[in-house]
Structure 1
Amino acid sequence: MKGENFLFGRYKFIEAIKTALEGYPPRDERCKSANWIGVHKALMAIKDVEGMLRSLDPQYYDILMKYIYRGLSTGNRTTCDQCLKIHEKLTEKAGFGCILRSLADTVNTV
């Protein structure tokens, strides 16, 4: 994620998430790992989930849902709690199709 450190340094977590989503799918495993680290860090810092979702282009909802499921797969309680909170709001905004599309796409993983 180019500029990730700058964005985190300025507490612009929503912009960091947008940057990662715009760079999807990552080119290789190293980029995929770097994107996950950045998205995870930003997701954990988000306080206004609804505001974040309003600021995102709907075309990125499915990709965000993939990152949410990756966060849930960590088993870390704090990460899972935050991901479930975001999952609920994202599902309300994007509908159940977002869940199905993110789970069905096994080619472009995060």
Structure 2
Amino acid sequence: MSGAGEVWRLLGQDGLIGEIVVEGGDFPWLSGRFAAAPAFAEWKPLFDRELALTEAEEWDEWEAVTAEIHNNLSLAAPGGPVAEFLLHIEGDRAWFRWNAEPFE
């Protein structure tokens, strides 16, 4: 598991979307402060939609939104990209879980 103070990066094809400075977590989730890069503006509506669908428990639509996120963005731990992740972003807060292998 990762520790407080680590910086994780959300990346798109053209570079940095934002950074998450880990402040803590509750296994298997990590949470921290999200610092959006200018490129995040393009992706913010999708993350807003993902969070709304999660809260509404609209899982079929949620799967389509998360597929779009995963097809276009990657999450990189301090040691490099991870194979799979679930990421929620709300304002300057982010919480996520990850795995070195794809989720089943």
> Which is richer in strand?
2
TM-score norm. by structure 1 comes to: 0.29
Q: TM-score, normalised by structure 2?
A: 0.30
